[in-house]
Amino acid sequence: MFPGWIKSAFRGGKKEMQESFHEQHNFILSTAPMWDRMELKYNKYVLGEFLEFKGKQEDVVALRIIKRSKVSRLIIQKISMFGLAHSKLQVLYSPRDYRSGGASASEWKEVTVRSSTEVVFRPQNSTKVCKFKISSITSLSPSA
Protein backbone atom coordinates (compact mmCIF):
# COMPACT_ATOMS: atom_id res chain seq x y z
CA MET A 1 0.00 0.00 0.00
CA PHE A 2 2.80 2.40 0.88
CA PRO A 3 4.67 2.04 -2.48
CA GLY A 4 1.38 2.61 -4.37
CA TRP A 5 0.88 5.91 -2.52
CA ILE A 6 4.41 7.05 -3.44
CA LYS A 7 3.90 6.14 -7.10
CA SER A 8 0.63 8.06 -7.29
CA ALA A 9 2.20 11.08 -5.59
CA PHE A 10 5.05 11.17 -8.12
CA ARG A 11 2.73 10.63 -11.08
CA GLY A 12 0.62 13.62 -10.07
CA GLY A 13 3.70 15.76 -9.61
CA LYS A 14 5.09 14.69 -12.96
CA LYS A 15 1.88 15.68 -14.72
CA GLU A 16 1.86 19.09 -13.02
CA MET A 17 5.51 19.60 -13.95
CA GLN A 18 4.73 18.71 -17.58
CA GLU A 19 1.82 21.15 -17.68
CA SER A 20 4.00 23.86 -16.16
CA PHE A 21 6.72 23.14 -18.70
CA HIS A 22 4.22 23.34 -21.58
CA GLU A 23 2.84 26.64 -20.28
CA GLN A 24 6.35 28.10 -20.05
CA HIS A 25 7.25 26.71 -23.48
CA ASN A 26 4.12 28.21 -25.08
CA PHE A 27 4.81 31.57 -23.41
CA ILE A 28 8.39 31.61 -24.71
CA LEU A 29 7.30 30.68 -28.24
CA SER A 30 4.54 33.28 -28.30
CA THR A 31 6.87 36.09 -27.22
CA ALA A 32 10.02 35.06 -29.12
CA PRO A 33 10.75 36.95 -32.34
CA MET A 34 10.19 34.88 -35.45
CA TRP A 35 12.46 35.53 -38.43
CA ASP A 36 12.53 34.13 -41.91
CA ARG A 37 15.95 32.78 -42.91
CA MET A 38 17.27 33.41 -46.39
CA GLU A 39 20.46 31.75 -47.61
CA LEU A 40 22.29 33.56 -50.38
CA LYS A 41 25.04 32.24 -52.61
CA TYR A 42 28.52 31.94 -51.08
CA ASN A 43 27.10 30.84 -47.68
CA LYS A 44 25.70 34.22 -46.66
CA TYR A 45 22.56 34.34 -44.52
CA VAL A 46 19.98 37.05 -43.91
CA LEU A 47 17.41 36.93 -41.11
CA GLY A 48 14.33 39.07 -41.45
CA GLU A 49 10.85 39.11 -42.87
CA PHE A 50 9.89 37.78 -46.30
CA LEU A 51 7.33 40.20 -47.77
CA GLU A 52 6.57 39.26 -51.38
CA PHE A 53 7.79 38.39 -54.86
CA LYS A 54 8.19 41.06 -57.57
CA GLY A 55 8.57 40.48 -61.28
CA LYS A 56 6.64 39.63 -64.43
CA GLN A 57 2.97 38.99 -63.77
CA GLU A 58 3.03 35.31 -64.82
CA ASP A 59 5.97 34.62 -62.47
CA VAL A 60 4.32 36.38 -59.54
CA VAL A 61 1.04 34.54 -60.20
CA ALA A 62 2.90 31.19 -60.30
CA LEU A 63 4.60 32.02 -56.98
CA ARG A 64 1.36 33.19 -55.33
CA ILE A 65 0.85 29.71 -53.86
CA ILE A 66 4.00 30.18 -51.77
CA LYS A 67 2.79 31.61 -48.47
CA ARG A 68 4.42 31.61 -45.04
CA SER A 69 1.64 29.50 -43.54
CA LYS A 70 1.71 26.93 -46.37
CA VAL A 71 5.44 26.48 -47.16
CA SER A 72 8.24 25.30 -44.89
CA ARG A 73 11.21 25.80 -47.26
CA LEU A 74 12.15 26.98 -50.77
CA ILE A 75 15.17 25.87 -52.75
CA ILE A 76 16.16 27.71 -55.93
CA GLN A 77 17.98 25.90 -58.75
CA LYS A 78 19.06 27.08 -62.21
CA ILE A 79 17.52 24.94 -64.95
CA SER A 80 18.24 26.74 -68.24
CA MET A 81 20.18 29.64 -69.64
CA PHE A 82 19.27 31.22 -72.99
CA GLY A 83 20.96 34.55 -72.51
CA LEU A 84 20.62 36.65 -69.39
CA ALA A 85 17.09 37.86 -70.13
CA HIS A 86 15.71 34.36 -70.66
CA SER A 87 17.37 32.43 -67.87
CA LYS A 88 14.90 30.31 -65.89
CA LEU A 89 15.03 29.08 -62.32
CA GLN A 90 13.27 26.20 -60.69
CA VAL A 91 11.77 27.01 -57.30
CA LEU A 92 11.24 23.84 -55.26
CA TYR A 93 9.04 24.19 -52.19
CA SER A 94 7.90 21.82 -49.51
CA PRO A 95 4.39 22.19 -48.10
CA ARG A 96 4.28 22.84 -44.37
CA ASP A 97 3.07 19.77 -42.51
CA TYR A 98 2.61 20.24 -38.78
CA ARG A 99 1.95 16.53 -38.26
CA SER A 100 5.44 15.38 -39.24
CA GLY A 101 9.02 16.54 -39.01
CA GLY A 102 9.08 17.81 -42.60
CA ALA A 103 8.30 17.01 -46.18
CA SER A 104 9.76 13.98 -47.89
CA ALA A 105 11.48 14.30 -51.26
CA SER A 106 8.31 13.11 -53.01
CA GLU A 107 6.32 15.98 -51.48
CA TRP A 108 8.44 18.75 -53.04
CA LYS A 109 6.55 20.84 -55.58
CA GLU A 110 8.09 23.09 -58.25
CA VAL A 111 7.51 26.36 -60.06
CA THR A 112 9.63 27.75 -62.91
CA VAL A 113 10.24 31.53 -63.00
CA ARG A 114 12.56 34.04 -64.67
CA SER A 115 15.83 34.80 -62.92
CA SER A 116 14.87 38.50 -62.93
CA THR A 117 12.14 37.78 -60.35
CA GLU A 118 12.90 39.45 -57.02
CA VAL A 119 12.25 38.64 -53.39
CA VAL A 120 11.25 41.63 -51.24
CA PHE A 121 12.75 41.12 -47.79
CA ARG A 122 13.10 43.29 -44.66
CA PRO A 123 16.32 42.35 -42.80
CA GLN A 124 16.25 41.94 -39.03
CA ASN A 125 16.75 45.20 -37.06
CA SER A 126 16.18 47.31 -40.16
CA THR A 127 13.32 49.45 -41.39
CA LYS A 128 14.72 49.37 -44.93
CA VAL A 129 13.17 46.93 -47.38
CA CYS A 130 15.63 45.14 -49.69
CA LYS A 131 15.10 43.39 -53.00
CA PHE A 132 17.14 40.30 -53.84
CA LYS A 133 17.25 38.69 -57.27
CA ILE A 134 15.89 35.20 -56.90
CA SER A 135 18.96 33.98 -58.80
CA SER A 136 21.18 35.09 -55.89
CA ILE A 137 19.18 33.02 -53.37
CA THR A 138 19.91 29.40 -52.52
CA SER A 139 17.06 28.78 -50.07
CA LEU A 140 14.41 30.52 -48.00
CA SER A 141 12.86 29.14 -44.81
CA PRO A 142 9.78 31.09 -43.71
CA SER A 143 9.01 31.15 -39.99
CA ALA A 144 5.78 29.60 -38.80
| Strand ranges, E, within 1-144 | 36-40, 44-54, 71-80, 88-95, 109-114, 118-123, 130-133, 137-141
pTM of the entire predicted model: 0.67
Predicted confidence (pLDDT) per residue in 47-61, tens digit: 999 999 999 999 999
CA pair distance 90, 141, nearest whole angstrom: 16
CA pair distance 17, 47, nearest whole angstrom: 34
The per-residue pLDDT of the chain, averaged, comes to 78
